[in-house]
Structure 1
Amino acid sequence: MRAARCEEYGGPENVVIRDIPSPEVTPGHVLVDVAAAAVNYPDLLFIANKYQVPAPLPFTPGSEFAGRVAAVGEGVTGVSAGDLVYGSVFTGAMADQVLVPARAVAPVPPGLSLTEASAFRVTYLTAYHSLVTAGELRPGQWVVVLGAAGGVGSATVDVAVRLGARVIAAASSAERLKVCAELGAEAGVDYVTEDLKQRIKEITGEGADLVVDPVGDRWAEPALRAIRWGGRFVTVGYAGGDIPRIPLNIVLLKNITVRGLELRTWTERMPEETARARQALTDLVAGGMRPAVSEVHDLADIGTALRRVADRLPTGKVVIRVNPDLA
């Protein structure tokens, strides 16, 4: 089968297409013919060997996929060959086939194409857990989303608006803020040209109730300082490059709750909460929600797709079309 392969750590250009053996079906697992796989920022960290948990060489990048079940292993129930599913895996999605534990896949929500479904699980589960499970969001509250035009950011804006929040999108250009406004953000802040803390205070009055931060870097602290007394801050990732060091006295004086969210371990350790989140997202899809897929590339162009994400050029999600006949 064809697979994208990282054979040495480095940049997107290090990823090549190889012909490798198909996985053998094992007990408790399902083999999926991959229609499409989404690009996420952690894919770049894996390739560069900068993720918190290393991926041993050689490996196939990609954590998020959708496709058709080709075979099921011994002991698997609730999933059958031919089912359309979406799911996630540590690595391995950017290939013709991927073998995953049965619990890592779910039926594609009615209304989603396989291309859309491939961009759904990681970003939208992250968004929902950030807002609801960790962020304790309630309708009418002010939510600030950093990196709001990116994959996780746009999903978070989308879900927050649909849950009745008042959303402030923070992004790096007027063009990217326009995308957020189309998703329903009530206000926008260009954190490259504007004072992020000051603008949040001006818009909200008392400060934000919740900040969801997949960016980190120099924008985390001003966003934290713009939270009202008793608010919440959820750190999701560090797409900005640097991991911020925040002054804890701000957390103390303003009684702020700071939570971390790393989806892989959350889904493993919080299965009941994740099941509720998945059902809530399925209900939102039934109400018209769709992932914002901005670019679709063929598997042969994986290097280009990864480089564009590395350079933070796209808005929404970038998807790799692995098997066009399925997607």
Structure 2
Amino acid sequence: MKTLVCRQYQSPKELSVIDTAEPVIADGQILVQVRAVGLNYVDGLLVQGRYQMKVPTPFTPGGEISGEVVSIGKGVTEFKIGDPVLANVGIGGLAEYVSVYAKQALIIPKGLNFPVAATLSQSYATALFSLRKRGRLTAGEKLLVLGAGGGVGLAACDVGHALGAEVIAAASSEAKLQAARLAGADMLVNYSDSDLKTSVRQLTAGGVDLVFDPVGGDYTEPALRTLKYNGRLLVIGFASGSIASIPVNQVLLRNRQVVGVDWGAWSMAHLDDNRLLMQEILNWIAEGKLHPPHPNQCTLADAGQNMQALLDRQVVGKTAVVF
């Protein structure tokens, strides 16, 4: 089978496609013929050895997949051959066949195609886990989403809107902001040509209740300063490439809070709870409460180049590798 491999920590553009043997499934697993794989910012960090946790080389990147069940291991009763499924696998997804533990997989509901299904789990699960569980967002609150044109940012706009928040989307280009508006944003801020703190305070007549920050760098401090009394800042990631240093007196003022979010670690430690979270997301999509956008698409041979584009923040929304 065709597999994308990272032989050593390297630029994503240097990844190579090789032939490898199909995986042999263990008890409790299913074998999935992969139809699509979601690319994520973290994939590019992993292949460069720049993520907080380093994966020993060689390895195959790709954390979220969709496809069809082609084989079933002993003890698996919830799936049958031919079922369309999605799964979050951490690594190993960028291959034609992937073995998956049944607890990691969910049936794709009717009406959801493979590319959209493959780009759901990391962005939408991160958004819902962050906003509801870590950020305690309630209906009527004001939510500021940084990096609102990226995959997780668009999901945060969509989920925030579904939870009843007033969503302020901040991004670096008009194309990204228009995508955020389609995802449910009520107000838009282009922080490449305006002051983030001033613009947000003017738009909201005083500030916001919750900040969703997957960007970091120079944007975290002005975002923190947009928070009202008892406001919360969610630290999601560092797509800017740098980790912010903030004046902690700004946390003390107005009883603000800075809250860390690591959905990935939580999901691996709480498989059953994460499965319920993902099923809720799929149910909301089926009910029309959430509207995941159609991703950009590429081939396996072009996956490395598209990973680099994510790192360079050139992509609006998500990208799926389609087989």
Q: Does the 8 Å CA contact 1:109/1:285 hold for their aligned counterparts? A: no
Alignment partners' CA distance in 1, 2:16 and 2:302: 9
Alignment partners' CA distance in 2, 1:301 and 1:144: 34
Give SS of 2:109's match.
coil
Residues 1:314 and 2:315 are matched in the alignment: yes
Q: Does the 8 Å CA contact 2:115/2:295 hold for their aligned counterparts? A: no
Alignment partners' CA distance in 1, 2:121 and 2:287: 17
In the alignment, what sits opposite 2:198? 198
In the alignment, what sits opposite 1:63? 63
Corresponding letter in the other structure for 2:226? A
Residues 1:243 and 2:281 are matched in the alignment: no
Corresponding letter in the other structure for 1:131? L
Alignment partners' CA distance in 2, 1:73 and 1:256: 50
Superposed counterparts of 1:28-39, under 5 Å: 28-39=28-39
Residues 1:302 and 2:303 are matched in the alignment: yes
Alignment partners' CA distance in 1, 2:29 and 2:251: 44
Q: CA deviation at 1:313?
A: 1.5
Q: CA deviation at 1:318?
A: 0.5
Alignment partners' CA distance in 1, 2:246 and 2:111: 42
Alignment partners' CA distance in 1, 2:163 and 2:253: 29
Q: Does the 8 Å CA contact 2:183/2:291 hold for their aligned counterparts? A: no
Ranges in structure 1 where 5+ consecutive residues have no aligned partner: 323-327
Q: CA deviation at 1:29?
A: 2.1
Q: CA deviation at 1:5?
A: 0.7
Corresponding letter in the other structure for 1:292? P
Task: Please give the TM-score of this superposition, normalised by the length of structure 2.
Answer: 0.95
Corresponding letter in the other structure for 2:316? T
Q: CA deviation at 1:82?
A: 2.1
The number of equivalent residue pairs is 322
Deviation by residue 1:35-94 (Cα, 9 ceiling, x = unmatched): 000100000000100111111111111001101112222233323332211011121111
Residues 1:210 and 2:171 are matched in the alignment: no
Q: CA deviation at 1:266?
A: 1.4
Q: Percent identity?
A: 38
In the alignment, what sits opposite 1:287? 287
Deviation by residue 1:95-142 (Cα, 9 ceiling, x = unmatched): 001122221111113321111100111111011111111111111110
In the alignment, what sits opposite 1:228? 228
Distance 1:109 1:257, change over 3 A: farther
Alignment partners' CA distance in 1, 2:94 and 2:275: 25
Give SS of 1:254's match.
helix
Superposed counterparts of 1:149-228, under 5 Å: 149-228=149-228
Distance 1:17 1:271, change over 3 A: closer
Task: Please give the TM-score of this superposition, normalised by the length of structure 1.
Answer: 0.94
Q: Does the 8 Å CA contact 1:230/1:256 hold for their aligned counterparts? A: yes
Q: CA deviation at 1:272?
A: 5.5
Give SS of 2:80's match.
coil
Alignment partners' CA distance in 1, 2:9 and 2:68: 31
The range that moved more, 183-192 or 60-69, is 183-192
In the alignment, what sits opposite 2:85? 85
Q: CA deviation at 1:253?
A: 2.1
Alignment partners' CA distance in 2, 1:53 and 1:319: 24
Give SS of 1:185's match.
coil
Alignment partners' CA distance in 2, 1:180 and 1:259: 24
Give SS of 1:56's match.
coil
